[in-house]
């Protein structure tokens, strides 16, 4: 009997009716003869609500307590789904991340899965149970609960699928699949029938939150086929898998955007070896991930260094950088938190000139100022003002003919 892992996101389990709908869908897969493992997110906006509540009690909560608090959201939805299945006459058992054998490192709020011991799940499946696992969490070596970062239940699902050697990992959400751009911003966006891991990874890392980027990375490493589909409708979704897509070469596959960008510029930085390390080491130690980095070619041995972080990390990053800047003799630290980024993605861009020029020209025609540019082999990203991001996504979508089949 094949193992199938299904994951249902927060909006798919937002209330009792929706949980019953999920239970019905899960039971259908079980009735087809599959061994079913289900991963759930917290109900609706539970995680946001818990973060807000904690903030009212303590503006700087301890990361350990915060993770323990947030992990409860997924425990609520997993137990309720199990109860819904019981009410329908099915055998099911809910397990927290630790009970499911998921181990993580101790980087609270952004923990990585370090291993899975699937014995308990395998035993429960053997007993004929449908196994419901609380997403987004695992146990550290100190026996603390750590969470995997926002959107992390996708990663729980793909990691479990890999560890159980499932035939497929199905991600059910509130859209029909992966689109050429966020369908909430571009109504003409087209659903993709399939997309390779490489392109999906760039989309997810560039802000397409339909899949947690680390889940795509795991899918690629373990060659796990991932289906993204609607938890409500029975329409075909998007298959994420390996292999080249012959027809889509020479084409942009999708536009991704991210509103969560803040920029720090350190001006008047002495241009000598070791300076970049002096600035970025303390940020790395504090667990702040830096995205785009641009260093201007210096004149008179003085240069400016600009980099981006998430808005959430901006204040902490500035607190770390200010004393470092003084120490190295830099002039000043400036910041801007009202930024976003827009990216065009496609393996078809590899070794083909013209995409960057077309992207810049398109943004120029809309009078959108580009502040920073970064590229990978299959992606071009422009950092722009946050209030221009939606317009940029729509115009680029049209300019690269993504609204046509
Ligand atoms: P879940 O709660 O099921 O994990 P998410 O809210 O995390 O769902 O992800 C689904 C959302 O991702 C969609 O509602 C959509 O607005 C957004 N999204 C962003 N980019 C894309 C894209 N390229 N294709 C589909 N959805 C996208
Ligand atoms: N509940 C968590 C969040 O809102 C994890 C998830 O939904 O995947 O980020
Ligand atoms: Mg999600």
**Mutate-to-test residue for ligand 1 from 209, 240, 402, highest number of ligand atoms within 8 A of CB:** 209
Q: State whether the beta carbon of 182 lies less than 6 angstroms from ligand 1.
A: yes
Q: Among residues of the chain, what percentage have pLDDT more than 70?
A: 98
Average pLDDT over residues 29-35: 97
> Which pLDDT value is given to residue 249?
60
166-175, 352-361, 384-393: least confidently modelled range: 352-361
Provide the token pair at 1: 């009997």
Alpha-carbon distance of 343 to 182, in angstroms, equals 12
Among residues 231, 301, 282, the alpha carbon closest in space to that of 23 is found at 231
CA of 209 to the centre of ligand 2 (A): 11
The angle at the Cα of 77, spanning 72 to 79, to the nearest 5 degrees, equals 90
Domains of the chain: 3-253 (3.40.1160.10)
Alpha-carbon distance of 131 to 122, in angstroms, equals 9
> Which pLDDT value is given to residue 9?
97
Closest-lying ligand 2 atom to the alpha carbon of residue 73: 1
Question: Which stretches of 45-126 are assigned E, i.e. beta strand?
Answer: 92-95, 102-104, 113-116
405 has pLDDT over 80: no
> Which pLDDT value is given to residue 68?
98
1 has pLDDT over 90: no
pLDDT band at 123 (very low <50, low <70, confident <90, very high): very high
Q: Which ligand is nearest to the CA of 231?
A: 1
Q: Considering only CA atoms, which residue is closest to atom 5 of ligand 2?
A: 151
Alpha-carbon distance of 332 to 270, in angstroms, equals 12
Q: How many helices (H) and strands (E) does the chain have?
A: 11, 18
Q: State whether the beta carbon of 188 lies less than 6 angstroms from ligand 1.
A: no
248 has pLDDT over 60: no
244 has pLDDT over 70: no
Q: Considering only CA atoms, which residue is closest to atom 9 of ligand 2?
A: 150
Provide the token pair at 257: 């955007």
pLDDT in tens, 364-383: 999 999 999 999 999 999 99
Q: State whether the beta carbon of 195 lies less than 6 angstroms from ligand 1.
A: no
pLDDT in tens, 138-195: 999 999 999 999 999 999 999 999 999 999 999 999 999 999 999 999 999 999 999 9
Alpha-carbon distance of 165 to 272, in angstroms, equals 51
Pairing of strands 113-116, 130-134: unpaired
pLDDT in tens, 307-333: 999 999 999 999 999 999 999 999 999
Handedness of CA 365, 368, 374, 376 (dihedral sign): negative
SS3 239: strand
> Which pLDDT value is given to residue 245?
58
Residue owning tokens 């609520």: 76
Q: Which ligand is nearest to the CA of 109?
A: 2
Q: To the nearest whole number, what is the mean pLDDT of the chain?
A: 95
H or E segment and range at residue 14: none
Closest-lying ligand 1 atom to the alpha carbon of residue 7: 3
* Beta carbons of 142 and 153 less than 8 angstroms apart: no
pLDDT in tens, 45-99: 999 999 999 999 999 899 999 999 999 999 999 999 999 999 999 999 999 999 9
CA of 103 to the centre of ligand 3 (A): 21
Provide the token pair at 181: 């751009």
CA of 184 to the centre of ligand 1 (A): 9
Full-model pTM: 0.94
Q: State whether the beta carbon of 176 lies less than 6 angstroms from ligand 1.
A: no
Q: What are the backbone dihedrals phi and psi of residue 395, each rounded to the nearest 5 degrees, phi first?
A: -70, -40
pLDDT in tens, 266-290: 999 988 888 889 999 999 999 899 9
> Which pLDDT value is given to residue 125?
98
Question: Which stretches of 203-349 are assigned E, i.e. beta strand?
Answer: 226-230, 238-241, 254-270, 293-295, 302-309, 332-345
* Beta carbons of 139 and 104 less than 8 angstroms apart: yes
CA of 271 to the centre of ligand 1 (A): 43
Protein residues whose CB sits closer than 6 Å to any atom of ligand 2: 9-10, 41-42, 47, 73, 135-136, 150-153
Q: What are the backbone dihedrals phi and psi of residue 367, each rounded to the nearest 5 degrees, phi first?
A: 65, 35
Q: Considering only CA atoms, which residue is closest to atom 6 of ligand 2?
A: 151
Average pLDDT over residues 21-32: 97
């Amino acid at each position: 009997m094949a193992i199938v892992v299904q994951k249902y996101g927060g909006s798919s389990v937002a209330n009792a009716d929706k949980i019953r709908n999920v239970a019905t869908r899960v039971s259908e897969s079980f009735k087809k003869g599959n061994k079913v493992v289900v991963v759930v997110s917290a109900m609706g906006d539970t995680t946001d609500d818990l973060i807000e509540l904690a903030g009212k009690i303590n503006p700087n909560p301890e990361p350990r307590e915060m993770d323990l608090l947030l992990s409860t959201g997924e425990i609520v939805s997993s137990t309720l789904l199990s109860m819904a299945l019981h009410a329908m006459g099915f055998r099911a058992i809910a397990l927290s991340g630790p009970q499911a054998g998921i181990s993580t490192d101790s980087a609270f709020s952004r923990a990585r899965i370090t291993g899975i011991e699937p014995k308990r799940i395998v035993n429960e499946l053997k007993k004929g149970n449908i196994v419901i696992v609380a997403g987004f969490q695992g146990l550290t070596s100190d026996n603390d609960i750590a969470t995997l970062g926002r959107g992390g239940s996708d990663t729980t699902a793909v990691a479990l699928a890999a560890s159980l050697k499932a035939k497929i990992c199905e991600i059910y959400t509130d859209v029909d699949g992966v689109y050429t751009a966020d369908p909430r911003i571009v109504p003409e966006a087209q659903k993709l029938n399939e997309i390779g891991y490489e392109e999906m990874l760039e989309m997810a890392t560039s802000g397409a939150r339909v899949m947690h980027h680390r889940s795509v990375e795991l899918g690629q490493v373990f060659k796990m086929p991932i289906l993204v589909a609607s938890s409500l409708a029975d329409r075909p979704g998007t298959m994420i898998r390996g292999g080249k897509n012959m027809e889509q070469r020479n084409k942009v596959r999708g536009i991704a955007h991210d509103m969560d960008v803040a920029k720090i510029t350190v001006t008047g930085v002495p241009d000598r070896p070791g300076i970049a390390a002096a600035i970025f080491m303390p940020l790395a130690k504090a667990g702040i991930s830096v995205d785009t980095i641009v260093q201007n070619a210096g004149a008179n041995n003085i240069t400016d260094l600009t980099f981006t972080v998430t808005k959430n990390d901006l204040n902490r990053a500035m607190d770390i950088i200010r004393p470092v800047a003084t120490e190295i003799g830099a002039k000043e630290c400036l910041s801007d938190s009202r930024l976003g980024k827009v990216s065009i993605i496609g393996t078809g861009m590899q070794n083909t000139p013209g995409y960057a020029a077309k992207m810049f020209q398109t943004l120029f025609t809309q009078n959108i100022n580009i502040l920073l540019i970064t590229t990978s082999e299959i992606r071009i990203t422009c950092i722009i003002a946050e209030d221009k991001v939606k317009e940029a996504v729509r115009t680029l979508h049209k300019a690269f003919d993504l609204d046509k089949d």
